[in-house]
Structure 1
Amino acid sequence: MWSPFWSVPAACVLISLLLGLFLPSLEKNLSESTLDFVFAGGPDAAREVLGTIASATISVAGLTFSITLVVLQLVASQFSPRMLSGFLRNRVVQATMGIFLGTFIYSLTVIRNVWTNDEELTGFVPRASVSLAFILVLGCLGFFLAFIRIIMGSMRVANAISEIGDETVALAKRLYPIEDAEVDPSMGPGWSPSPGDPRESVEANGHGALVWINYRRLMTWAERNDAIITIDRSVGEFVLTGQPLLRVWWDGELSDADIRLIHSSFEVHTERELHQDVAFGLRQLVDIIDRALSASVNDPATAAQSIHEIHRIFRHLVTVIEPSPYMADDDGNVRVVHKPQSISEMLHEVVAEIHYYGTDSALVPKLVENMLDDLEAAAADHFQSAVKHAQEIWEGKTEGPDTIRPENSEA
């Protein structure tokens, strides 16, 4: 629920609205002496302070939104359009928009409770509420400075590339276990259907990139119904409405509730995201390399920085154990068969695309050769053939990744 850009600003506005409604009501039950340490002005001063805060915060919120649009345009044109999602996911950007909008709503809500009685020259001023508005203004200033820092950093290509690398490495460490002497890459149960086994196909009910699969939910359903689910699509693939999404191997019949639960286990967006998709991080870096090596941009230094980040990512990936396609329950029975992203295929595709665009560069070939030599030295035994195949692709001894299949299918 916190993934969309508007989620944090919407939460800030809702909280501010509730505070503006209930905090002045609580103050009416407190004595004046209790609130001597807060705002000491009268009704007119309170109205002026709250009105100034409301007008200033909404103006700066508009400025912040305008700056965000300009930065998004620059990022899309200079680096890659696929980097926009990373900028919009930044919590500082979201919180900055949220606190400005929240302060605006809070000030307008509190100002309703400031009133005077001209005949008795008395009135009510929600002093603590006005003081809280002033504290929110200080928070707005702090977040605005942090926002400017994020903007300046996002416009530096080195920071943007490094951030993509950091997110991709963090995701790879979460998804892929490090190989050690106690774990055998070939360990784990297997499963294959027999001819004539009953099965039922489930089709996709939307179109877009498959960004996330709730394996736990699928495992729970399959175990409860004594079924086996084979997923036909891998994370990162583009699916169309009506395309086969998975098959259920069992003797029963899927109900509408079962189909809704299965569909809710798949998240499809218009663009790929770094939730379970390590290849998307590499895709962004390769896009930057392609754009940097184009004749219109001609920026080999940016391409070199992206190659360094790709090297860092694969330096970790070639030491891990690829997940088994077979997922079993606690009793060892296979319940879900999926298609994990192949590290070998990712390496081959990256090297092939850099080879296509970067062989004529004076800087890129040496960097890629050094990367592949280092990967060969660091790779685990079950990745040695994949790295050697990548070296053959770079040397032009193979036709490209279309003819390549994972070398370590036993993993």
Structure 2
Amino acid sequence: MTATRPPTPAPAPTARPQVDRVRRRLRLMLGPFWVVPAIWSSGSVVIGLLLPQLDEVLGSPPLLFNGSADSARSVLSTTAGAMISVTGLVFSITIVVLQLASSQFSPRVIATFLEDRVTQHTLGVFVASFLYSLTVLRAIPDIGSTDEGVPEFAVTMSFLLVLAAVAMFLAFIQHITQSIAVSTVIRRVGTQTRALLERSRERRTTLPSVAPPLPALDGQTVTIASRSGYVDSIDSGVLCRTATTHEVRIEILHPLGCFGPVGATLALVHGARADPAWDDRVSACVRLGADRSMEQDLTFGFRRLVDIAERALSPGVNDPTTAVQAIDELHDILRRMVRETTVVGVHLDSDGNPRVLTQEWTFAQYLDLAVDEIAHWGADSIQIPRRLTEMLTDLEAASVPEHLDVIRSKLAHIQVTG
């Protein structure tokens, strides 16, 4: 008989959730592709305005630009023209890579390339060099060929930015050729999924393996989604504190990754009177995104790997080896999960009272997501049934007793259909 883990009350509030919340907000702020280039651009304009003022303080140290105003203007004009031209080249290469990744792997891996810091910093350096040159150019007096009033330190900085841009361009070419390799794409998605699995482990340890008794509460109100989108993250800590304050129990009806249309029932608040304020309270803690992300949605990592495998198994691509590489990543992730027992989404307050109910994915559902579609489209392949059989056999050997029946049933189905 398998021992079940008793419900664990929610831990006392610590600084860790606050730190995680700040990190999550920083990731959301720095997530868009334009943020890093915008920071570089803003910094270059500010520095371009300030550096010409330092010449009066620094004088003329050695190794600085010592040409005339005409030559300084020529250098800065040439730098600005060259930088904006190469920026267009870098942007064009990025677009081509995105199109290639979308057609060869999956449209859902495009976000991985857009989040790449090397690409963002490369574009940022080139745009910054262009804007810096234009900003310093306005500080050069129109006095012919004399060198009086030429901002030597600022012009010299433009040389340094050009050197940095050349170095970043070489690094970008090297990086982009590696990033479009199928092994790199699959490995990156697998790494992100494993990282999310580790981050969610602390939350899962506070959840029980068997649902505790749920006391009956008088009254119930329905919260409505004010917008449509995918359930991207749930702040169960804030929800639990809100439910404790109002002495209610909040039941979230949709699991992470599920799509909810506008006006659909988002949650039930047991023990509460009908109050429109509950729509805002719940919506503030349940983020509905236009696209899925790896914020909390572990199934999105599975979906991207499965999509890559399905695209590789399509008749137009016919690359079962790529599908096997995707299965390898799924195998590693499932093996980490198969050693843990299933948890129930019952979040308790500090007194042990159930306050928040969430829909948690089971291991059987993760296994279905990882195996069923690949097994269907790869049934006629030699490699796919063999590799899935190897994976399921290994999972059976490593699994806790709770998951054995699911794994054996899946293994029998693969052996029959394969």
TM-score by length of 2: 0.84
Question: Deviation per CA, 1:145-177, whole angstroms, max 9, x where unpaired?
Answer: 222223212322122112111111121122135
Say which structure, 1 or 2, has more relative contact order (CA 8 Å, 6+ apart).
2
Instruction: Say if 1:185 and 1:322, in contact at 8 Å, map to a contact too.
Output: no
Match for residue 359 of structure 2 among 339, 351, 367: 339
- Looking at structure 2, the residues matched to 164 and 130 of structure 1 have their Cα atoms a distance apart, in angstroms, of 43
Instruction: Say if 2:210 and 2:343, in contact at 8 Å, map to a contact too.
Output: no
Question: Deviation per CA, 1:277-318, whole angstroms, max 9, x where unpaired?
Answer: 221111111112212222222111111111111111111111
Aligned-residue offset at 1:39: 2.8
Which position in structure 1 is the counterpart of 2:26?
Answer: none
Which position in structure 2 is the counterpart of 1:366?
Answer: 386
- Looking at structure 2, the residues matched to 133 and 141 of structure 1 have their Cα atoms a distance apart, in angstroms, of 12
Question: Deviation per CA, 1:59-116, whole angstroms, max 9, x where unpaired?
Answer: 1111111111111111111111111111111111111112211221122112111225
Is 1:172 paired with 2:224?
no
Aligned-residue offset at 1:212: 2.2
Is 1:207 paired with 2:228?
yes
Which position in structure 2 is the counterpart of 1:73?
Answer: 99
Is 1:49 paired with 2:69?
no
Which position in structure 1 is the counterpart of 2:247?
Answer: 226
Aligned-residue offset at 1:207: 1.9
Q: How does 1:3-402 map to 2 (within 5 A)?
A: 3-25=31-53, 27=54, 29-33=56-60, 35-117=61-143, 121=146, 123-176=148-201, 186=208, 190=212, 192=214, 194=216, 197-251=218-272, 254=275, 259-395=279-415
- Looking at structure 1, the residues matched to 247 and 126 of structure 2 have their Cα atoms a distance apart, in angstroms, of 52
C-alpha distance 264-58 of structure 1, shift in aligned 2 (>3 A) = farther
Secondary structure of the residue aligned to 1:271 is coil
Question: Deviation per CA, 1:27-46, whole angstroms, max 9, x where unpaired?
Answer: 1551414x445333332232
Question: Which runs of no fewer than 5 residues in structure 1 stay unpaired?
Answer: 398-411
Aligned-residue offset at 1:236: 0.8
Secondary structure of the residue aligned to 1:123 is coil
Number of equivalenced pairs:
389
C-alpha distance 20-395 of structure 1, shift in aligned 2 (>3 A) = same
Question: Deviation per CA, 1:105-129, whole angstroms, max 9, x where unpaired?
Answer: 122112111225469x563223332
Q: CA RMSD in A?
A: 2.7
Aligned-residue offset at 1:254: 4.5
Instruction: Say if 2:106 and 2:308, in contact at 8 Å, map to a contact too.
Output: yes
Secondary structure of the residue aligned to 2:156 is helix
- Looking at structure 2, the residues matched to 2 and 328 of structure 1 have their Cα atoms a distance apart, in angstroms, of 33
Give identity over the alignment, percent: 36
Question: Deviation per CA, 1:339-383, whole angstroms, max 9, x where unpaired?
Answer: 123222010232221221112111111111010000011112332
C-alpha distance 222-126 of structure 1, shift in aligned 2 (>3 A) = farther
- Looking at structure 1, the residues matched to 267 and 131 of structure 2 have their Cα atoms a distance apart, in angstroms, of 47
Aligned-residue offset at 1:21: 2.2
- Looking at structure 1, the residues matched to 243 and 150 of structure 2 have their Cα atoms a distance apart, in angstroms, of 61
Instruction: Say if 2:102 and 2:108, in contact at 8 Å, map to a contact too.
Output: yes
Amino acid aligned to 1:361:
S
- Looking at structure 2, the residues matched to 319 and 205 of structure 1 have their Cα atoms a distance apart, in angstroms, of 39
C-alpha distance 274-185 of structure 1, shift in aligned 2 (>3 A) = closer
- Looking at structure 1, the residues matched to 346 and 203 of structure 2 have their Cα atoms a distance apart, in angstroms, of 19
- Looking at structure 1, the residues matched to 134 and 308 of structure 2 have their Cα atoms a distance apart, in angstroms, of 45
C-alpha distance 213-106 of structure 1, shift in aligned 2 (>3 A) = farther
Instruction: Say if 1:12 and 1:102, in contact at 8 Å, map to a contact too.
Output: yes
Aligned-residue offset at 1:244: 1.2
- Looking at structure 2, the residues matched to 28 and 260 of structure 1 have their Cα atoms a distance apart, in angstroms, of 56
- Looking at structure 1, the residues matched to 351 and 51 of structure 2 have their Cα atoms a distance apart, in angstroms, of 55
Secondary structure of the residue aligned to 2:148 is strand
Instruction: Say if 1:348 and 1:393, in contact at 8 Å, map to a contact too.
Output: no
Secondary structure of the residue aligned to 1:124 is coil
